[in-house]
Every structure is written in C-alpha cells, then in structure tokens.
Chain A
Amino acid sequence: MDELTREFLIESQEGLDRMERCLTDLEERPRDADLLGEIFRSVHTIKGTTGFLGFTRLEKLAHAGENLLGLLRDGKLSANRSIITGLLQLMDALRGILRIIETHNHEGGSGDRSEDGGAVADKDAQLISLLHELQHTEAAPAQVHAAVNNAAAARPVAQMFDAAGASALEPATDLASPRTGTSAASDSTLRVDVMLLNRMMNLVGELVLTRNQILQATSLDPSLAILTRRLDMVTADLRESVMRARMQPVANVFSKFPRMIRDLSQLLQRKVRLVMEGQETELDKSLLEAIKDPLTHAVRNSLDHGIEPPETRIAAGKDPEGTLRLRAYQESSYVIIEVSDDGAGICVEKVRRKAIERGLIATERAAVLGERELLQLIFLPGFSTAEAVTSVSGRGVGMDVVKTNVEKIGGKVEIDSRPGKGTTLRLRIPLTLAIIPALIVRSLKQSFALPQGSLSELVHIPSERAATAIEWMDGTPLYRLRGQLLPLIFLDRMLSPLVRPSSVAAKSKAEGAVAGEGFIAVLDADGRRFGLVVDGLADPEEIVVKPLSGVLKSIGLYSGATVLGSGDLALILDPGSIASRAGVTMRTQEEQVKSAQGEREDEHETDMIGSRYLLVEIAGRRAAVPLRDVLRIERISFSRIEYVGYRPVLNSEGQLLPVEDSGGVLAAAGGDPSAQVVVVVCREGNRQVGIAVSHVFDVAAGSELFEAGSQHRASGVTLLNDSVTGVVDLDSVAPLPLGSGGEVEPSEWAAETMA
C-alpha cells in the first residue's frame, strides 16, 4: 500500500470517529451548525480524496451522504431520528469499505463481477437510495417549499448528482475560515510510529538502570552528589515524558459509547442519558486497547440489566430516563474508570438463590453471607451463563470475563450496588504496563521480582520461630494466618525440581529442612491465595519489564525479566502460574465464604476495609492509620530523609513525600545517618504523604466509638483491640512549599542538607 493511501485511511478513520461523536450529539441538538459543519467536512474530505485515489465505491456513497448533509447544513432539512440512523448506516458502510481497502488494497464490490460483488453493489445502491429518500420525505418540516421538493423528486438521479455536486463546492469555500483554527492544532502534533515509542521507552528504561548504577557508585563521593542528583531528576522527567507520549485520552474508547447506547437503548426499549466525565484522563495505549472489551461489556450490562424500562421506572417513582455515567479519573498510579447507572441495582436475594441453585455455594453458607460477599459471587465463572442472566435482575453477563481481563493487565474490579438505586462498577487500571512496582525477593541466592499488584501482605518468620511457624499436613506446608490455614509454596523447592518429597525419608527431611529466617509473601492470584516462602527481601523497586525469549517463556513461571538497580538481572515471577504449578486451586466456595467472613468485621460497614487500621507506635504512643489509605511501609536509613527548610521529605522514585513527624521519631534518630526509620506511605486525596513511626504492629479492625449519651460518632479515635486509639489525621499533613512559583531545586536543597 502506498503512503498516500495509508495517510488517507488514517485521516478518514479519524474523520469518521469525529462524525460518530457528532452524530450522536446531533440527536440532542439537531440544528447545531457546528456539529453539522463538522460532519459535512468529514464526509466531504473522504469524497474529495477518494475521487483522487480512484475508489469509486467510496466516492459514490460519500457523495450521496454529502448531498443529504448539505441540505441539513444549509438548514433546508432538520435532522431527525431516521436521518441520523441513515447517516450512521452510511458511516458504517464507509468504515466497512475502509477496512477492505486496508486489508486488500482495493475497495471490493463494483470492480469484480462475482456474485459477492453484485450483492455489495446492491447494498450500496440501497443505501444511496435511502439517503436520497431522506432528502425528500423529511424536507417538509424544515420549511422547504413543497414545489422545490417535488421538482427535486421529479428530476432524474443523474441531474440531482450534478446539482448537489455543484453545491458541494461552495461549502468548501466557506469552510475555509474555521479551518485555519484546526490546522494550527494539527501543526503542533505529529504522528509517531508506536514501534519507535516502544524503542524510546526501552532506551529510557536503560537510562534509568544506568542512573541507578551511577547513583550507587557515586553515593560515597560528595563532589558528584549534585551532578548525580541532577541526572536523577532529568531521568525521572524524561521517563515521564516518554511514558506520556504513549498515553492517549480515554475519550478514544469512550467515544464509541454514545452510538452503542443509542442503538442498544432502541433495541431494549430503554430511555438512557449518557454522562461522560474525565474523558481527557490519559492511559497507556496498550492498556486502553485492553480495557475496551471489558468496558463495553460493563456498559452493555448496565443497559440490559441495570436500567429498567421506562414504565417500571415511572412505577418506582423515578425519572423515566435512566442515567448511565462513565467517569474516568486518576488516582495516584491508577486510572479509575467507573460505570454507574441509576437502575434497579442488584437484588442480593436473587443472587443468593441463584448461587445456591447453580451449586456455587452451600445453602447453609449462603444463609449467613452479607450483601458484599453476595455481590462478589457474580464474578464467579459459573454465574455468567445465559440462564443466570435473564432470571437475575442484576448484572451477570460475563462479569468473570470483565474481571479476568482487567486483572490480566494488573487492574482490579470493584462493584457496589444498592437495590433500587443503581450499580457502580469500578475498574482500577495501572497507568502503564512497561514499568511496574515490584518487590524483590531472594531465593536460591538470586533475586526474583514479585509484582506488587498480587502481593497482599508479608509475614516475617524469625529464625527462632522457623521450626514451629510452618505446620505440615503430611508433607504439605501450611501457615496459620490469623487463624486460617494458608497453603505455602517454597520458592526454592519449586525452582529446583531435584528436591521432591516423594519418599517418606525425603518428606521428613523436607519438613525438617525449614530452618533459619524466612519470609512469606502472601499472594492473591486470580482468586487463589497462597504464601510464597522466600529466603529474604530486598527493597521494592519500580522495574522495567523486559520480555523473555520463547524458550524461557515456555517454562511458564516467569512473566519477564528485569534489570535491577544493582545491575543484576532478576526474573519476574508470575504468581498465577506458580499457584497452578503447585496445584493451588481456586478456593472451594466454603473457604472463600469463610475468609470473606473473617475479613468482614462490621455488618453495617459498607466499605470492607474502611474500618480496618494499621496499628503503629509513634514515640511510645499507639496510633492507628486507616488501612485503605496505606500504600506501603518503607524501612529506610535516616540518610534518605532530606529537609526542605525544616520539613522532612522523602524522595521516593522521583516523587517528594512530605513526612509527618509529629511524634519526633525522626528528631530522635537525628544525626545518625545509619539509623533505620520506618515510614508509612499513605494516600491523601491526590497526594502521598509519609508518616514516621517507631514500629508497625499489626492490622486490626476498629469499632466506631459513640459519645456516651449521644449518637455522635467520635471522630479521630477508634477502638482497636479493645483499647481506644487515636487515628492519624492525614488531612492535617501540610503540603510541601513547592508551589509553581517558589519551586525549590532539588539539587539545591540536596546541597543544603550536605552542608
């Protein structure tokens, strides 16, 4: 395919995308001149170029559409539903032809004389005559004289084409003025091959590695500190810029929903208003592709099972027109996409019944389940068959598919539903795939990377407890995690297949072999929970994922490799495959229910982890940090704490975190750069803050306290392990004085701290 045709295809696709958006808007504002102008322009451009390139089939269709659009734009016709449907059909036909050109390099149809070609030509002719009809039948309401109308109808088709062709020329001239505005925008953008961007990303990853090595090599030489600092910052900026270059607004995916909802609501006899928010939120291109299907599924579900037919809504005292809200926003390193409707919601009783019916859950278990656990049941694979859908008024169509697709790219799906009020589905998507946060673990004297996404917690087994902490069920290692048995997998044993506890002797040897310090990484992979026993932990790192060759991919346990800051290579472990290899299956339903109950602390609490706290000690005092705000816990050496003025800050992966030190933990450690401090990194609104603590104890469920004699909830305190504990107020951590005006150059204050 030559360059010209390729350009034409890209341009036309974009034009049609714009047209699609405008057409759905046009339904609400049928006389909007800007919209009509835009649509006309798209079709006109296609027509103009096709004639030049010799795609006659495209040209004919575009021409017929242009005639109709010309009348609309000049106000001689007003857009109504059937005209818009006709135009949408035209758009689909044009898209279809473009697709044929893309694959076969010719437009199909008219050229070949086969049966197929004939059918295509017939279809084209039908569409063209439909577009012609629309020009006339709908003319009356638009105050066009009947005489003109009749005359036009009587004219032979060939003449019509001429007349319209002439009129098509003049709009091109009057369109010239608004065009200057758009061309300025297109001058400032550039099409770049994705391959090139990937290459750039790769090189930036290299630079990040080199930087890490330089930072390590020069850490002892103060004369280089300022230079390496600068290198550090520039690299971080560069990495961000290249990542941003791969980003595309979610509008690219959202834009197809107005049309889909229009078609579906007509099909399902629903009245739906679509509200889209945050379309400018950006996401990596490959991720955007990956969420297209799950999102379509979710939207379709909302329409099919969420929003009720108008009569039902009126009967329930609601606006007959339902609202479907698509919302995208960024939250730290995730993009959240919400699909919410104000429909019937999910009736948990029906879910319960259905789950029992399908044998997904035992009757006695189902009886004690709370709403939240019941809602989770709809993500079970067995729940998504067609019968289940029609008899359950909630969601159900392939929700397991939505969940697995989103989890495949490291995201999460949450659902929230209130009967009669509506349902919200929340997709949490990581910003990028190429660089992921990972925990580096040691086993077999080498490093492995564990994606943070599947890591739920870490358990330390000190050497004195090593022999007793792990229990054996005839050769199978288990760990009691808060009263529940967690299956364990020893990473070193899994990776060295020679040690297999097959015989009795080998088994007792294997059981006895657990000695010395160890860590259990509690992993959650596709609903399977298990503990991975490793020898040691290194710092968490943001790793650049590198693909593995086919030979190593086929081992199945590794999802890639990465180069660590130390320059060493590390294999990235795939928790899902490890679980399958070791035979950890999906938890039986009973277990799942049990654990759900274990996690559930408060019947009335809507947010499961909302009432859970991280119990810490700050300078001798117990305090609680809401668990949902905790991002990670870092043990760092005091030398990593720097000061902006008197404010302690932590430079974490190029981001500055203000560190709250109300208890004077840092002050106590002051002066000794080798001292270790623990910083709990929390999310507060859109920023991250650190809290310096002396110890981290545990996670505990808090109960709300009520003031004696009143129903007022006591704020700022909670009841943890039966004692009243103060809750750290993240909101009160003052922002850093790094305004746009008075930005402190990091290298400057680095120099300050050194002096």
Chain B
Amino acid sequence: MSAKTDLALRKELAPLQGTPLLEMCSVRIGHALFGIPITHVLEIVGGVCPQAVPLAPEFVGGLMHYRGDVLTTVSLRHLLALPYREGRHDILVLESAGGCFGLLVDSVGEVLTVSTADYEPNPSILDERRRALFAGAYKLKEGLLIMLDSERLDPMRLAASAV
C-alpha cells in the first residue's frame, strides 16, 4: 500500500523536477528487467488470477476485474515467447490511446530513476518482432533496463501486427 502512495507521490512530483531524470516502473520477466514510464501506469494490482478467454489471441492473458470494468490483459511472457506460468500474477494497469488494459508480469519491482543520457534506441540486430515491442533501453549499472511503452503493448495494436 505504501508503495502505491509513494508511486502516486512521485508521479505528481515528476513533472515538477524538470530534470532529464525519468522514473520507470521496473518489472521482471524471468531474468530480464523491463521498464515502463510510471506516467503510463494507472495502478499496480498484485496477486490476480486472470480469467482465461477461450479462442482469444494467444497474447491475451485473460480478463481481470478492475474498478467496475473488465480489462483485457496482455501476457508479457507470451510476447517474449517464454513458457506460460501457472498461478497468480502481478498486473500493471496501463493506459493507452485505445483505453485501459492490464499487463501480466511475473513481479513488479521498485521505481527506478534513470537519466536520459543513458538511453539507447533499439539496436539494429534486434529481430523485427522485438523491435516492434521494445522502445530502446537504459544502460544501468546492474544491467540493461529494456523499455516498454503502453502504445506498443496495446492489445488492438498487437492483434493487428500478429500474423
């Protein structure tokens, strides 16, 4: 709970600072570390068991109940071609131009402050699928923070690009 209020506070402060520092919500899938700008994140919901939707596109992780709405979730594991993981998940509720959706991840980590100076766009050797998915990376001391953004993860967009 305190993490959430902390997050909300930072969200408010972020535009005031006016420095080239950005705040990223870090999430973990397997061993890789991913980041999403906290301005895209509406809420973090933990321990959710999404309801499967038969016949849905494979990247759909199921449905979740969120504040009176039924949200479609996107399984980041599936997008990265990782095996399906049973049980409860953490979900980031993201907002994109097409509306809200949930992003199913293994676990949500802390909020990291990164400097724009450390940013690198997608390298050219990245395959096409991942190039469409990732938005570059930040070089951190402990490794790379691969950037995701809500527009690229929007289910409608994923459905359109899926073969």
Contacts and interface: CB of A to CB of B under 8 A. Distances in A.
Do the two shown chains form a genuine complex with each other?
yes
Interface of A: 202-203, 205-206, 444, 446, 495-497, 546-552, 554-555, 557-558, 560-563, 567-571
Contacts of A496: 54
A563 B98 contact: no
B54 A550 contact: no
Contacts of B132: none
Contact of A552 (B53, B67, B99): B53
Nearest to B55: A555
B70 A561 contact: yes
A444 B99 CA distance: 29
A548 B57 CA distance: 14
30 contacts: A205-B68, A206-B67, A206-B68, A444-B54, A446-B52, A495-B55, A496-B54, A497-B55, A547-B70, A548-B70, A548-B72, A549-B71, A549-B99, A549-B156, A550-B98, A550-B155, A550-B156, A550-B159, A551-B57, A551-B158, A551-B159, A552-B53, A552-B63, A555-B53, A555-B55, A557-B55, A561-B63, A563-B65, A571-B51, A571-B63
B69 interface: yes
A546 B156 CA distance: 18
A546 B70 contact: yes
Contact of A568 (B51, B53, B60): B51
B155 A569 contact: no
Contact of A446 (B51, B56, B69): B51
Going nearest first, the 9 A-B pairs with the smallest beta carbon separation are A495-B54, A569-B51, A549-B72, A551-B155, A561-B70, A546-B70, A206-B68, A202-B68, A551-B159
B30 to A, nearest CB: 25
Nearest to A444: B54
B101 interface: yes
Given A546-B69, A550-B156, 7 more contacts: A495-B54, A495-B55, A549-B71, A549-B98, A549-B101, A554-B159, A569-B70
Given A561-B63, A569-B63, A549 B155 contact: yes
Contact of B53 (A206, A497, A571): A571
A549 B98 CA distance: 9
Contacts of A548: 70, 72
A547 B67 CA distance: 13
Interface of B: 51-57, 60, 63-65, 67-72, 98-99, 101, 155-156, 158-159
Nearest to A447: B51
B74 to A, nearest CB: 9
A205 to B, nearest CB: 6
A467 B28 CA distance: 49
Contact of B72 (A551, A562, A567, A570): A551
Contacts of A444: 54
Nearest to A549: B72
Contacts, number: 66
Nearest to A554: B159
A557 B55 CA distance: 9
B7 to A, nearest CB: 24
Given A444-B54, A549-B99, A569-B65, A563 B156 contact: no
A205 B65 CA distance: 12
Q: Which of B69, B70, B159 has the most CB of A within 10 A?
A: B70
Q: Which of A444, A552, A558 has the most CB of B within 10 A?
A: A552
Nearest to A558: B53
Contacts of A562: 70
B51 to A, nearest CB: 4
Contacts of B64: 569
Contacts of B63: 552, 561, 569, 571
Contact of A551 (B54, B56, B70): B56
A547 B69 CA distance: 8
B33 to A, nearest CB: 27
Nearest to A545: B70
Contacts of B155: 549-551
Contacts of B70: 546-548, 560-563, 569
Contacts of B98: 549-550
B49 to A, nearest CB: 9
Contacts of B159: 550-551, 554
Q: Which of B54, B57, B63 has the most CB of A within 10 A?
A: B54
Contacts of B56: 551-552, 555
B60 to A, nearest CB: 6
Contacts of B101: 549
A569 B68 CA distance: 12
A552 B50 CA distance: 14
A205 B69 CA distance: 10
Contacts of A552: 53, 56, 60, 63, 72
Contacts of A557: 55
Contacts of B99: 549
A569 B57 CA distance: 18
A547 B158 CA distance: 20
Contacts of B53: 552, 555, 558, 571
Nearest to B63: A569
A220 B46 CA distance: 28
A547 B68 CA distance: 11
B65 to A, nearest CB: 5
A560 B70 CA distance: 9
Nearest to A563: B65
Contacts of B51: 446, 568-571
Contacts of A554: 159
Contacts of A446: 51-52
A436 to B, nearest CB: 15
B11 to A, nearest CB: 23
A560 B56 CA distance: 13
A549 B101 CA distance: 9
A495 B56 CA distance: 10
